[in-house]
Structure 1
Amino acid sequence: MNAYIFPGQGAQFVGMGLDLYEKYPLAQQLFERANDILGFHITDLMFEGTVEDLKQTKVTQPAIFLHSVIMSKVLGDRFKPDMVAGHSLGEFSALVASNALNFEDGLKLVSKRALAMQKACELQPSTMAAVLGLEDDLVAKICSEIPGVVVPANYNCPGQLVISGEIEAINLACEKLKEAGARRALVLPVGGAFHSPLMEPAREELAAAIENTTFKTPSCPIYQNVPTIGVKDAEAIKANLIAQLTAPVKWTQSVQNMVKDGATLFTEVGPGKVLQGLVKKIHSSAETMSADLS
């Protein structure tokens, strides 16, 4: 069975999407539609912008979403998923690709999500850190013993977990995790504590937008970050999407469940190959590839 997977924030690169725009009339049409919906020329920033331009949350999230979704649309009849999943932001790409959301609504939600997250970051200084070489349970236990807000945020693969929270709590957690034997505990250059309780203001804002958006039954199960199992019920999908902002991304568990349910090939749709690397670390015998437009 073929699982299609969609990357999240961090996969962006300068010039992303230009090849699609120049080669495929459908891609050009969708990119121009995106410029109209967003009210600014995101294509200029994607195709010709700087690394700094692409780092702005209000640009990064829609840019990655557009690259992934437009690629899935250009694949046309060759896009035949038995299941889909997306890492954090990538969950929105997966929902549009599997027809649970239409293109316009998906882009509007991603844009609202980016702006709401940016606002939440400005309310309270916060950050994230990558922890390598420790068992997930031990990382969670150490975080729970630190004063202040610090929680597991991204279960990326065995031995690689990202924590999220208040700056002082993160710094203290990194010290304690190194003492406990972590190979690395490194603060990341991000704008805030994504997938933590500090994103509650953003969750509330996004919840209202999601509740007012029409979701349909997807063409195949979507393995969402929060429950980690295949979901097809539209109302459950909405609830999981709302919960995602303050809950951890359980990518390890999602991939394990996809394998258990029959996935043998994981095709990454969108910029980069980060998810293929994570899948290999989670299940070494899984076959991985990038979406092939040739």
Structure 2
Amino acid sequence: MSGIAILCSGQGKQSAAMFDLVASEPTAAPVFALAAGALGGRDPRDLAHQGGDIIHRNDVAQVLCCAAALAVWAAVGSSASRPITVAGYSAGEVPAWAVAGVMDASSAFNLVTRRAALMDEATREPSGLAAIIGLPRDVVDGICRAYGLDVAIVNGPLHLIVGGRAAGLRPALADATARGATRATVLPIHVASHTPALKAVSERLGRLVSETVTDARLPSDVRLVSGIDGASVRGVADGLVKLAAQVSTTIDWTACMDACRASRPARVLELGPGSALSRMMTEFEPGIPARSAADFRSVAGLRRWIEVAS
């Protein structure tokens, strides 16, 4: 095994500590400046420390998650040996394209800002996502049909994220609990991401990404994984179609983890707030060391851990 696999987190795990590792790193300063521009001049580090509901608001959360991934990558990316495999979870798929070298950080922030705005504009009534753990897909599909919801993300055979109107989420979770779910909880995400409710957003976003990423090429030593199905992005144009479609299409994260495993990396590193993806990867493939940047107390320590994969 050689190289490293990079997983870019989506929304949900923002916290006051999300930028602590690289808050003072000179190499991360340009990323924070771009993020501040996308947040109307507010420094993302200050917003994170402020905490509260604002850091989970869709338009803010997507920018914060993009900043978390790209700030760490700016600080440690030069330590990563090639080849690399890159996959992004939900909103994390946009910064994943920047980590892969297909777009620059400025384009990534522009895209997540516009993506969030389109999603908010299309959300005309209270909506969101919820996790249902411990029930098989066919049972969850039945619950979704009963309450007007859709499966948004497949994290495993018994770990599903569902989305739709808030009015349908809570009774659906009560039903799931009654059927034996080990966990059924609303997530701090207020749009029905990756469901047909946002189909119009995918169509508008498709036109936008084609304008944002022009004449781009995928580096030969990078494998970029599509969030929808775990397939490798072979051509930028086709990949952008999927990147736009994922806003309203179920994400098969299990397939993404399988694609990362198939690339046989020496290590897997999660960029972004929290450590949910690295934990899932460890459960999925215990034989490959997986850590989150959030696990480290210093950039130097993270660099040393990455360099072992060389």
Fold match by TM threshold 0.5:
yes
Report the counterpart of residue 213 of structure 1 in structure 2: 212
Tell me: CA distance 1:178–1:236, structure 2 relative to 1, closer, same or farther (3 Å). Answer: same
Q: How does 1:1-294 map to 2 (within 5 A)?
A: 1=2, 2-22=4-24, 24-43=25-44, 45-46=46-47, 48-80=49-81, 81-121=83-123, 123-143=124-144, 145-146=145-146, 148=148, 150-215=149-214, 216-219=216-219, 220-291=222-293, 293-294=299-300
Shift of 1:75: 1.2
What is the rounded CA distance, in whole Å, between the counterparts of 1:43 and 1:9 in structure 2?
Answer: 14
Deviations 1:209-251 (A, max 9, x none): 2121125233311111112122131011100111100011211
Q: Deviations over 1:53-100 (max 9, x none)?
A: 312222111111112112112114213352110111111111101111
Inter-CA distance 107–179: structure 2 relative to 1 (3 Å threshold): same
Q: Which moved more, 1:51-60 or 1:239-248?
A: 51-60
44 and 259 in structure 1: CA distance in 2 versus 1, 3 angstrom threshold: closer
SS at match of 1:229: coil
Count of aligned pairs between the two proteins: 290
1:144-168 deviation line (CA, Å, top 9, x unaligned): x4263x1111112342111111334
Q: Percent identity?
A: 25
- Measure the CA separation in 1 of the matches of 2:183 and 2:48: 35
SS of equivalent to 2:132: strand
Asked if structure 2 preserves the Cα contact closer than 8 Å seen for 1:133 and 1:184, the reply is yes
| Distance of 1:30 and 1:127 partners within structure 2 | 29
d(CA) in 2 for partners of 1:19, 1:182: 36
**TM-score of the superposed pair, with normalisation by structure 2:** 0.84
CA–CA separation in structure 2 for the residues paired with 1:221 and 1:79: 14
Q: Name the CA shift for 1:281/1:49 in 2 (closer, same or farther; >3 Å).
A: same
Hey, which bits of structure 1, 4+ residues long, moved more than 4 A? none
CA distance in 1, matches of 2:266, 2:136: 26
Contact map agreement 1:12 1:64 (CA 8 A) in 2: yes
Q: Report the 3-state secondary structure (helix = DSSP H, G, I; strand = E; otherwise coil) of the residue aligned with 1:186.
A: strand
Indicate if the aligned counterparts of 2:163 and 2:193 stay in contact, CA closer than 8 A.
yes
CA contact (8 A) 1:16 1:46 kept: no
Distance 1:185 1:38 in 2: 32
RMSD after superposition: 2.3
Listed as ranges, the gaps of 5+ residues in structure 2 are 301-310
- Is there any run of 5+ residues in structure 1 with no aligned partner, and where? none
Query: Normalising by structure 1, what TM-score?
Result: 0.88
Task: Give the residue type in structure 1 aligned to 2:152.
Answer: A
One-letter amino acid matched to 2:127: S
- What do the CA deviations read for 1:116-166 (whole angstroms, capped 9, x no partner)? 222222x133232211111224323443x4263x11111123421111113
From the superposition, tell whether residues 174 and 36 of structure 1 become closer, same or farther in structure 2 (CA, over 3 Å): closer
